[in-house]
């Protein structure tokens, strides 16, 4: 089966900002579409998306965020190279690399390259009469990942209501994904109820669907979520535990970590001990980006003193980049990696990063972005790649629930097993 047409166009993400969609049509008459996400809290070392600010395609009413140049790169550069080619994901990605050999996809734009790569993967799965999950994992039970879900949000996702980015929960005691999601919904709704009863403003929903309540410290935010868990009747630390996304790059000035809401500034050494005290005093099993993206020494020092069972998760540090992952492996700077396809720019290269992480005993967490869409391919990738964990946001917003609902569907219609990396 061959590619008959490739075309890109501009659509909107969940924040109302433009993003790229691409469709791949095959000679059997079918068309397969993927829409790419975009982040608000982005690492400096991510693959580069192209937007039109100041360019000839800039659209007045999108404040320079339009993506028509990236769309043009699909239609005028990528598409002609793929027409009449056999539908094969590796061939598509290799062809894209030939057209744009830059490591960060800055020539064509990672939003353009990923859109075509994803649409190509979906089309290739169709050509084999398989779901995207089964395309990557054709034999045996599919592995449904453990969800990590936002309850409170701050940072760049919620107008800095918290210094840190998110307080999340992980339903480690659940026996199935269906049960896990029901627990998550219960805790999230209890948190909203308690927020209203306590006089907090809870009508502000963050980019990823978390509740935006202002707390002057991470400790108070954690205490609030622990109370919400307990009020549902679930057991803290046994059935449901906490996870934090610190997003420290956002408040690191190159020398000190400055917590505005707490009105405190910490040296690198002081902040290491602050983070260690935080994870030791709260039921936290995972902490993401506790230090800035280029503060490698703090990551290393923390790894030496942190609780041995703590998941130390690199997002801005690693940016789904094979070279940065290999450095972290060599220097023992983290033990887990967040996998975001748009940080990398190609499906096959993203999978290679995940495989390298797994080969070196890193936990892998496939993640959505703050600017999402209604596609559910992320759920299939996390499942087909045997990622172990998935981080989508909260349970409000169809762009989030499309992924949760796809996992619910897979658990019902497929031969599956639910993974618990924390057992």
Which residue from 315, 398, 381, 316 is spatially nearest to 347, judged by alpha carbons?
381
Catalytic residues, by residue number, are 208, 340
Q: Which of 105, 129, 153 is the last residue of a domain?
A: 129
pLDDT tens track for 40-55: 667 789 999 999 988 7
DSSP states of 67-104: -HHHHHHIIIIIHHHHTT-B--HHHHHHHHHHH---TT
DSSP 8-state code for residue 156:
G
Percent of the chain with pLDDT over 90: 86
170 and 52 inside one domain: no
3-state secondary structure of 175: coil
Show Cβ contacts of residue 238 under 8 Å, excluding neighbours closer than 6 positions: 172, 173
Tokens of 101: 């050999």
pLDDT tens track for 347-371: 999 999 999 999 999 999 999 998 9
| Rounded distance between C-alpha atoms, residue 361 and residue 2, angstroms | 38
22 strand-pairing partners = 8, 34
Q: Is residue 242 part of a domain?
A: yes
Whether the pLDDT of residue 98 is over 60: the answer is: yes
Q: Is residue 73 part of a domain?
A: yes
Residue 343 lies in domain: 142-418
User: What's the total number of domains in the chain?
Assistant: 2
Which residue from 127, 93, 108 is spatially nearest to 25, judged by alpha carbons?
127
367 and 300 inside one domain: yes
Q: How far is CA 227 from CA 164, 187, 215, 315, in A?
A: 19, 9, 15, 28
pLDDT of 56 reads 82
146 and 120 inside one domain: no
Whether the pLDDT of residue 126 is over 60: the answer is: yes
104 and 16 inside one domain: yes
Mean pLDDT calculated for residue range 226-240:
97
pLDDT tens track for 378-403: 999 999 999 999 999 999 999 999 99
CA-only gyration radius of the chain, Å:
21
Q: Is residue 136 part of a domain?
A: no
Show Cβ contacts of residue 198 under 8 Å, excluding neighbours closer than 6 positions: none
82 and 151 inside one domain: no
Diameter over CA atoms, the chain: 62
Alpha-carbon dihedral 238, 239, 245, 246, rounded to 10 degrees? -30
Residue with tokens 């002081």: 270
Q: Which of 103, 129, 155 is the last residue of a domain?
A: 129
Q: Is residue 423 part of a domain?
A: no
Residue 42 burial (10 A CB sphere; 0-12, 13-18, 19+): buried
Backbone angles phi, psi at 46, to 5 degrees: -70, 155
| Strands 146-153 and 166-170, bridge-based pairing | antiparallel
402 and 256 inside one domain: yes
25 and 153 inside one domain: no
**How high is the mean pLDDT of the chain?**
94
Which residue from 391, 401, 390 is spatially nearest to 143, judged by alpha carbons?
390
Mean pLDDT calculated for residue range 92-105:
97
pLDDT of 207 reads 79
- Residue 79 Cα to chain centre, angstroms: 28
Asked whether the beta carbons of 416 and 173 are under 8 A apart, the reply is no
| Rounded distance between C-alpha atoms, residue 20 and residue 102, angstroms | 20
Q: What is the CATH number of the domain that holds 179?
A: 3.20.20.120
pLDDT of 157 reads 47
Q: Is residue 134 part of a domain?
A: no
pTM of the model: 0.95
Confidence class of residue 203 from pLDDT cuts 50, 70 and 90? low
Q: What is the CATH number of the domain that holds 33?
A: 3.30.390.10
Whether the pLDDT of residue 75 is over 80: the answer is: yes
104 and 226 inside one domain: no
125 and 146 inside one domain: no
Q: Is residue 118 part of a domain?
A: yes
Whether the pLDDT of residue 25 is over 80: the answer is: yes
| Rounded distance between C-alpha atoms, residue 116 and residue 20, angstroms | 10
Size (the chain), residues: 423
Q: How far is CA 61 from CA 10, 19, 65, 67, 376, in A?
A: 14, 14, 9, 13, 29
63 and 198 inside one domain: no
Q: Is residue 34 part of a domain?
A: yes
E strand or H helix at 56: none
85 and 161 inside one domain: no
123 and 150 inside one domain: no
Residue with tokens 């046994």: 238
Q: Is residue 264 part of a domain?
A: yes
Show Cβ contacts of residue 47 under 8 Å, excluding neighbours closer than 6 positions: 104, 105, 106, 110, 113, 114, 319, 342, 343, 344, 345
pLDDT tens track for 248-291: 999 999 999 999 888 999 999 999 999 999 999 999 999 999 99
Q: Which of 129, 155, 174 is the last residue of a domain?
A: 129
pLDDT tens track for 152-194: 988 654 466 788 999 999 999 999 999 999 999 999 999 999 9
365 strand-pairing partners = 338, 389
């Amino acid at each position: 089966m061959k590619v008959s047409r490739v075309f890109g166009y501009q659509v909107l993400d969940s924040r109302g900002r433009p993003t790229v969609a691409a469709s791949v049509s095959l000679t059997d008459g079918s068309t397969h579409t993927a829409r790419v996400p975009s982040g608000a809290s982005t690492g400096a070392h991510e693959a580069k998306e192209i937007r039109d600010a100041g360019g000839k395609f800039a659209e007045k009413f999108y404040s320079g965020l339009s993506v028509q140049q990236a769309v043009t790169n699909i239609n005028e550069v990528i598409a002609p190279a793929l027409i009449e080619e056999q539908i094969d994901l590796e061939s598509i990605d290799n062809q894209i690399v030939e057209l744009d050999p830059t490591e960060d996809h800055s020539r064509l734009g990672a939003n353009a390259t990923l859109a075509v790569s994803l649409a190509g993967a979906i089309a290739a799965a169709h050509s084999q009469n398989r779901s995207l999950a089964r395309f990557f994992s054709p034999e045996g039970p599919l592995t449904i990942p453990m969800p990590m879900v936002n309850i409170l949000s701050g940072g760049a996702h919620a107008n800095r209501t918290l210094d840190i980015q998110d307080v999340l929960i992980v339903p480690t005691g659940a026996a199935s994904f269906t049960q896990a999601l029901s627990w998550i919904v219960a805790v999230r709704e209890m948190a909203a109820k308690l927020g209203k009863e306590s006089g907090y403003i809870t009508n502000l929903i963050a980019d990823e669907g978390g509740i935006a309540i202002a707390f002057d410290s991470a400790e108070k935010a954690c205490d609030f979520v622990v109370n919400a868990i307990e009020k549902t009747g679930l057991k803290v630390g046994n059935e449901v535990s906490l996870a934090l996304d610190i997003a420290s790059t956002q408040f690191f000035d190159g020398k000190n970590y400055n917590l505005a809401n707490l009105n405190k500034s910490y040296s690198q050494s002081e902040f290491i001990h602050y983070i260690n005290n935080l994870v030791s005093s709260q039921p936290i099993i995972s902490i993401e980006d506790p230090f800035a993206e280029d503060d490698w020494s703090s990551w290393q020092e923390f790894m030496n003193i942190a609780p041995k069972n703590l998941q130390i998760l690199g997002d801005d540090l690693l940016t789904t980049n094979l070279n940065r992952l290999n450095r972290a492996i060599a220097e023992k700077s983290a033990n887990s990696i967040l996998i975001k396809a748009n940080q990398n720019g190609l499906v096959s290269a993203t999978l290679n990063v995940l495989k390298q992480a797994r080969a070196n005993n890193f936990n892998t967490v496939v993640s959505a972005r703050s600017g999402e869409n209604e596609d559910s391919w992320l759920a299939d990738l996390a499942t087909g790649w045997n990622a172990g964990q998935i981080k989508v946001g909260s349970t409000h917003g169809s762009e989030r629930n499309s992924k949760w609902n796809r996992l619910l569907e897979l658990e019902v219609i497929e031969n599956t097993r639910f993974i618990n990396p924390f057992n």
